[in-house]
Structure 1
Amino acid sequence: MDANQQTRSNPFGMDEACTNCAALCETRKSLVHGYGDVGADFLFVGEMPDAGADETGVPFTGDERGEALQHILGLLGLNNSLPSSDEPELENVFVTYLTRCRHPERPPTDEEITTCEPYLNAEIRMINPEILVPVGERALEAIATEYTTTPADEIKMTDHHATTIRGRGFELVPMADPLEQNESEREAFLDHFESLMDSDYRQTKGRRGR
């Protein structure tokens, strides 16, 4: 499986007609694989496509939650387009989900997350990021279980939002749901992540305006 950076959308050419979860095939509009820079240091993982991503086929676009995350990425210098863009110009960041299809009436089941796991594992393996960012409690639970030695029940978003957790081959920086964050939580994440970028990656993006 090779990357095709001629496109940010599904650059690894994953199956765009997957039928592994019959119940989701009946409800989805799009099958939403990962999107972004295949050479990224930072990989953000949400739980499932929202209604916006289901429409656009691009993770974290098309609705308020997507715009909230894209706005944060812009403040960090990782998104060079408007938060409302359906095809954001992401640099040094890749965005994806635990599951690739949306059910409008419920979250994904554990079985559906397990079924989609090979897609996520392949993206992580191919990109080999430095930092994994689980977005929301369900993503944190899944990523912590797979990529840390700490029992997942000891890692809670209320305690670990905007902190760094050492993982197996990666560091994790959990992010609370961007649509539900208050201003203090957003500022905490921005400050922590920007400090991490400056110290570990010596980037020279400068301070953001707020």
Structure 2
Amino acid sequence: MKNVTERTSNPFGLRPPFDRTGPDERTAVFGYGDANADFHLIGDHPGVHGGRRSGVPFTETESGVAIGEVARAVGFAEGPTDRPTLENLYCSYVHMCCPPEGETPTEEEYAILERFFDAELRAINAHILLPVGERATDHVLREYTTQRGRLDLDMAALHASEIRGRGFLVVPIREPTEWEDTDREALVARLEAILGRDYRQTKGVATRVG
């Protein structure tokens, strides 16, 4: 049984390699949640999925709140919406640094932060990766599965599906602002189905048990 740490926010003490924010603004939104989790929720950056004020991923923005509601529906989250208590779920971003309001990180900035994200993902060592939106899904499929070349990045089609990775099971999540009538229910149903079986994987073999 792994026991990474009991720290909830930034459990590995990461320090952002650059800062594009003003003197009174938050520099970065670090990983947050249960560092011993089996489920790792992965977003894009704070400007999209939230946390610029709270410091907690998947809060404040429309997309972040929608994901938070799903986490509550399946029993991952409880307590305050801006600083929930998470069990069996860890949340982080591909790009943890806060870009200036209204701006998007550059490709170079994404590249600089890639090693930080990768190190944290491997330290958490979750079984199920839950990338949200095109950017996070593309990165996870490219880096942690052998499937990216075989799959179109059609998030409507990939949403709430199961893709076997290199020691991970990947469940892509369509950007919540683009959800249609049944997308929320499909995601909740998929997560409940996974939780209802033995979802553990043998690391490095990419074989799902159960």
Distance 2:21 2:5 in 1: 26
Q: Which residue matches 2:138?
A: 141
1:192 maps to 190
Partner of 1:200: helix, strand, or coil?
coil
Aligned residues: 194
Counterpart among 118, 127, 130 of residue 130 in structure 1: 127
Are residues 86 and 30 of structure 1, via their aligned partners in 2, closer, same or farther at CA, if it must alter by over 3 Å? Answer: farther
User: Could you list the runs of 5+ residues in structure 1 that have no partner in the other structure?
Assistant: 203-210
Q: In the aligned structure 1, how far is the partner of 2:111 from the partner of 2:149?
A: 16
Are the aligned partners of 2:44 and 2:135 in contact in 1 as well (CA < 8 Å)? Answer: yes
Structure 2 match to 1:111: 108
The TM-score normalised by the length of structure 2 is 0.84
CA deviation map 1:32-76 (0-9, x unaligned) = 110000110000101101374111111111232221111100001
**Is the contact between residue 5 and residue 36 of structure 2 (CA under 8 Å) also seen in structure 1?**
no
Partner of 1:59: 57
Partner of 1:14: 14
How high is the sequence identity, in percent, across the aligned residues? 38
The partner residue of 1:164 within 162, 165, 177 is 162
User: In 2, distance between residues paired with 1:116 and 1:3?
Assistant: 22
**Change over 3 Å in CA distance of 1:132–1:142 after alignment to 2:** same
- C-alpha root-mean-square deviation of aligned residues, in Å? 2.2
Corresponding residue number in structure 2 for 1:173: 171
1:151 matched residue in structure 2: 148
Structure 2 CA distance for partners of 1:3 and 1:130, relative to 1, 3 Å: closer
Distance in 2 separating the partners of 1:152 and 1:197: 29
CA distance in 2: counterparts of 1:165 and 1:182, whole angstroms: 22
**CA–CA separation in structure 2 for the residues paired with 1:170 and 1:148:** 8
1:208 corresponds to which residue?
Answer: none
Superposed CA offset, 1:186-210 (max 9, x none): 11111112111102249xxxxxxxx
Please say if 1:96 is aligned against 2:92. yes
- State the 1:78 CA deviation: 0.3
| Equivalent residues of 1:149, 1:168 under 8 A apart | yes
SS in 2 for 1:50: helix
Distance 2:140 2:123 in 1: 17
Q: 1:134 to 1:152 in 2, by over 3 A?
A: farther
Q: Is the 8 A contact 2:42 2:132 kept in 1?
A: yes
Provide the C-alpha distance between the structure 2 equivalents of 1:190 and 1:119, rounded to a whole number of angstroms: 29
Contact residue 62 and residue 86 of structure 1 kept, 8 A: yes
Q: Is the 8 A contact 1:78 1:91 kept in 2?
A: yes
The CA deviation at 1:30 is 3.2
Bigger mean CA deviation after superposition, 42-51 or 89-98 = 42-51
Separation in 2, partners of 1:39, 1:191: 23
Query: What TM-score, normalized to structure 1?
Result: 0.84
1:74 and 1:81 in contact (8 A); partners too:
no
Per-residue CA distance 1:95-143 (angstroms, 9 max, x = gap):
0001012322332222211111122112111111000011001110111
SS of corresponding position for 2:90 = strand
